[in-house]
Amino acid sequence: MATEIVCSECGTDDHLRGTPTADGLIELFCSACGVTFTRDPRPSCAKCGGFDMEAMPQVVVEKSRGSQMSIQGVHREFACRVCDADQIGIKRDGHLPERLRGSQ
């Protein structure tokens, strides 16, 4: 996982040493300036700051020549169960075939 972690004091990303703590955070020690800080590795919502996130893998598709689409990869996105409830709901419904009940 290549998340960008930089020192909160000096901004370096070269001299950091991470140690997971008991409560699920990561304690980082910067050997460049000697500061210790903690970081929450969980994804959080940019809107409400909550941690109730739902992982939503998105297939990244790019248009190459003409109308051909090529899959570039899968990008992991997180949606907030509070702010993006609609979005999550839509995704879920899309996966469920609706014809099992009462559509005859």
Which 40-69 positions form the footprint of Zn ion (CB under 5 A)? 45, 47-48, 50
- The nearest distance, CB 86 to Zn ion, in angstroms, is 12
Interacting stretch for Zn ion, rule CB under 5 A, among 8-16, 55-63, 67-75, 87-95? Answer: 8-16
Which 84-103 positions form the footprint of Zn ion (CB under 5 A)? none
Rule CB under 5 A: say whether 80 interacts with Zn ion.
Answer: yes
Give the number of other CB atoms < 10 A from CB of residue 28: 19
- The nearest distance, CB 100 to Zn ion, in angstroms, is 32
Q: Select 32 or 88, whichever has its Cβ closest to Zn ion.
A: 32
Rule CB under 5 A: say whether 83 interacts with Zn ion.
Answer: yes
Gap between the Cα atoms of 41 and 5, Å rounded = 10
Instruction: Answer whether 54's CB lies under 8 Å from 69's CB.
Output: no
Strand, coil or helix: 93: helix
Which residues 6+ apart lie within 8 Å of 85 measured at CB?
none
Q: How many residues does the chain have?
A: 104
Using CB under 5 A, list all residues that contact Zn ion. Answer: 7, 9-10, 30, 32-33, 45, 47-48, 50, 80, 82-83
